[in-house]
């Protein structure tokens, strides 16, 4: 059991992946979170997209000003790489400085973006042997195999792992289907000795789009999270159907309002992870534990595909 400040019964937060995000399709979500007293983490890109994924970045004045306003209100701004696509080490370093100049600090929390060549320990490098071999095989079958060269390779042109190690505290790795993230990864956040360029890794509960998110925060699940004193970090994309024609999804609105009415600790991802690491130290949990989390991730991915087709 984890104790929470001010007698709170459980903890709940969200990491919002910035893919496709604009002021128009995302701001209504944050207006709701603000009204309900939830403080979460909104990620951003620094540069405009160079890949297939659209969305605004800090290069867009209206989007930048809105994120600054969110930050002043207590929302955390995280990083989702400095942009969609290919960026050099020099561009990444400059992008981190732009982030710091904009928000007054480097990002505390980072998540890798799809197939960016500067991703850290991505593709099969995320996993332990022999699960990494199974992942490679499955990727080839699905024709999704990515390059092993990434932001953690000092010989590569996209290397920025040393910058991540020195400036960023937490990086997301695995997802789970259950609402109690900590129950499924009891040791998080933790360091992995074989991946020294990341200080600490954490897991998240999968809330990929509005359908998956709503299925995660049902009243039954929230009541169970509260009853067991659990911890939930949802990973989602608020640009994926939460707002249509300027109107919030009604099921989502009701779910957030019910959640806010419970005795939860609603703080950004970085704040919650700081609290957890002070409780457990962040040491490497060992190979056997990490392999178990890999196998559970694989099972959850199969179940998600069967249920939602994604």
Q: Which residues of the chain have pLDDT under 70?
A: 142-148
Chain segment 141-154, per-residue pLDDT in tens:
766 655 557 999 99
List the domains of the chain with CATH numbers: 5-308 (3.20.20.370)
Chain center to CA of 198? 15
DSSP reduced 3-state for 231: strand
Cα–Cα distance, 168 to 77 (Å, whole number)? 12
Cα–Cα distance, 155 to 128 (Å, whole number)? 23
pTM: 0.97
Return the closest-CA partner of residue 187 out of 113, 296, 109: 296
CA angle (93 as vertex; 46, 161 as ends), nearest 5? 110
User: For residue 117, what are the CA distances in angstroms to 12, 54, 136, 157?
Assistant: 32, 17, 17, 9
Q: Give pLDDT, residue 18.
A: 98
Question: Please, how many CA atoms are within 13 Å of residue 297, restricted to the half-sphere of its CB?
Answer: 20
Return the closest-CA partner of residue 82 out of 52, 119, 54, 108: 119
Q: Give pLDDT, residue 146.
A: 56
Q: Give pLDDT, residue 148.
A: 58
CA angle (297 as vertex; 277, 3 as ends), nearest 5? 30
Cα–Cα distance, 138 to 163 (Å, whole number)? 32
Chain segment 100-141, per-residue pLDDT in tens:
999 999 999 999 998 899 999 999 999 999 999 999 898 887
CA angle (124 as vertex; 118, 130 as ends), nearest 5? 155
């Amino acid at each position: 059991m984890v104790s929470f400040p001010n007698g709170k019964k459980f903890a709940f937060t969200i990491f919002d992946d910035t893919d496709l995000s604009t002021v128009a399709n995302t701001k209504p979500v944050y207006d709701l979170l603000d009204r309900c007293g939830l403080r979460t983490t909104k990620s951003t890109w620094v540069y405009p997209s160079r890949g297939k994924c659209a969305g605004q970045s800090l290069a867009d004045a209206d989007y930048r000003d809105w994120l600054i306003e969110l930050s002043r209100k207590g929302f955390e701004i995280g990083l989702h790489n400095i942009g969609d696509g290919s960026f050099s080490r020099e561009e990444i370093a400059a992008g981190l400085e732009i982030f710091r100049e904009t928000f007054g600090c480097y990002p505390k929390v980072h998540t890798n973006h799809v197939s960016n060549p500067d991703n850290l320990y991505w593709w099969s490098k995320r996993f332990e042997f022999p699960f990494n071999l199974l992942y490679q095989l499955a990727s080839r079958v699905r024709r999704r195999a990515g390059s092993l060269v990434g932001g953690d390779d000092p010989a590569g042109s996209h290397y920025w792992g040393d910058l991540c190690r020195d400036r960023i505290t937490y990086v997301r790795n695995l997802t789970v289907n259950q609402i109690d993230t900590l129950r499924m990864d009891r040791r998080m956040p933790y360091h992995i000795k074989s991946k020294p360029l990341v200080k600490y890794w954490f897991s998240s509960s999968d809330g990929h789009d509005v359908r998956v998110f709503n299925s995660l925060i049902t009243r039954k699940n929230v009541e169970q999270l509260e009853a067991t004193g659990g911890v939930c970090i949802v990973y989602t994309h608020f640009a994926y159907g939460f707002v249509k024609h300027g109107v919030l999804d009604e099921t989502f609105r009701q779910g957030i309002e019910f959640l806010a009415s419970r005795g939860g600790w609603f703080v950004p991802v970085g704040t919650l992870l700081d609290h957890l690491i002070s409780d457990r130290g962040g040491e490497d949990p060992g190979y056997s534990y990490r392999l178990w989390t890999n196998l559970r991730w694989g099972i959850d991915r199969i179940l998600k595909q069967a249920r939602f087709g994604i």
